[in-house]
Amino acid sequence: MTFRSRLVFASVALAAWGCAGAPKPATEVPSATAIDTAAVLAPLVRSLEARTRVVRTLRGRAEIEVSAKQWEGSSQTEAAVVAERPDRLHLRAYAGPVTAFDLVSSDGRFWAFVRERRELWTGPVPALEKRTGIPALGKALVSALLGDPFGPPQDARLVSMTPDRAVVEWSAREGGVARATIRRLDDVPLAIEWKREGKTVASVRYDDFVHETETGLWPRRLSLRWTDPAASLRLSFHELQLNHDLTDAAFAPPDPPGAKHVELGDADSTAGGER
């Protein structure tokens, strides 16, 4: 080996040794405390906050799937959905061309026509939630549909961040905290959890986004889950309109002829008799 060859070999060896001995590049994403959290957090909070107020009404047709702890399996059907802030909801489920279930709720009360029983249930919304095992059928469901499931991010903080996701947490409307997983590419929330005393109370996942003029990307699929009682509700919209003016007639309580009127009490949600 010539002197020149030995010199080249030694240079290559030293370079390789230097690479091997140097610290490896960091592969872990820095924690929220190691970055400029204010700069990262601001656009995420703006996006979250905008979604709690930009949509005032919703109407559409969707596939709805519901399950609850006391049921055997789940129920799936087509439904027409109309919602308006702060708490007006009209949900009509179909079995083919026939209305199987017709629910209106407003100002904390509900009216629900159950066709197979020929009964019109009425009472405070918590009584219906207890009877059906679905924890959110009034204002809470309207809020989730219109982008505000657990309250606005008034005291938000950045929890963690990866190249494509950020996690933001704030005080939830009903106590505990709300924790959102946000796609950093477009600041769109993909899921929001409600946690209390370290346990998940409820969660909502958003999917199948479409671009709306007023809102930007808006989900056509919502999956809500509750843990106590265990229940879930999934809505997959194939027709969706936002911020259209709605009349009072859209929320007129059902009153089918010949239906037995049953008042559900808030205390035990048992039938209180015919009126």
N residues, the chain? 275
Res 9: pLDDT: 35
Res 35: pLDDT: 61
HEC readout, 226-254: EECCEEEEEEEEEEEEECCCCCHHHHCCC
| CATH assignment of the domain containing 52 | 2.50.20.10
Q: How is residue 169 written in tokens?
A: 């947490």
User: Could you give the CA distance from residue 261 to residue 120 in angstroms, rounded to a whole number?
Assistant: 5
Res 100: pLDDT: 87
pLDDT band at 270 (very low <50, low <70, confident <90, very high): very low
The CA–CA distances, whole Å, from 266 to 141, 269, 271 equal 19, 6, 11
Q: Is the pTM of this model over 0.85?
A: no
Residue 24 domain flag: no
Residue 129 domain flag: yes
pLDDT mean across residues, the chain: 85
pLDDT band at 31 (very low <50, low <70, confident <90, very high): low
Residue 39 has φ and ψ, to the nearest 5°, of: -65, -40
pLDDT band at 36 (very low <50, low <70, confident <90, very high): low
| Strands in 140-252 per DSSP E | 157-161, 165-171, 177-183, 188-196, 199-212, 216-227, 230-242
Res 70: pLDDT: 75
Tally of domains in the chain: 1
Residue 120 domain flag: yes
Residue 97 domain flag: yes
Range of the domain at 259: 38-266
Helices and strands in the chain: count of H runs, count of E runs? 4, 15
User: Could you give the CA distance from residue 42 to residue 82 in angstroms, rounded to a whole number?
Assistant: 32
Question: Among 190, 193, 183, which residue's Cα sits nearest to residue 207?
Answer: 190
111-168 pLDDT per residue, tens: 999 998 999 999 999 999 999 899 888 999 999 999 999 999 999 999 999 999 999 9
Burial class (CB in 10 A: 0-12, 13-18, 19+), 12: exposed
**Least-confidence region, from 151-160, 206-215, 216-225:** 206-215
Residue 56 domain flag: yes
DSSP 6-24: HHHHHHHHHHHHHHHHSPP
Strands 260-264, 119-124: pairing kind: parallel
pLDDT band at 30 (very low <50, low <70, confident <90, very high): low
Res 239: pLDDT: 96
Residue 199 domain flag: yes
Residue 1 domain flag: no
pLDDT band at 214 (very low <50, low <70, confident <90, very high): confident
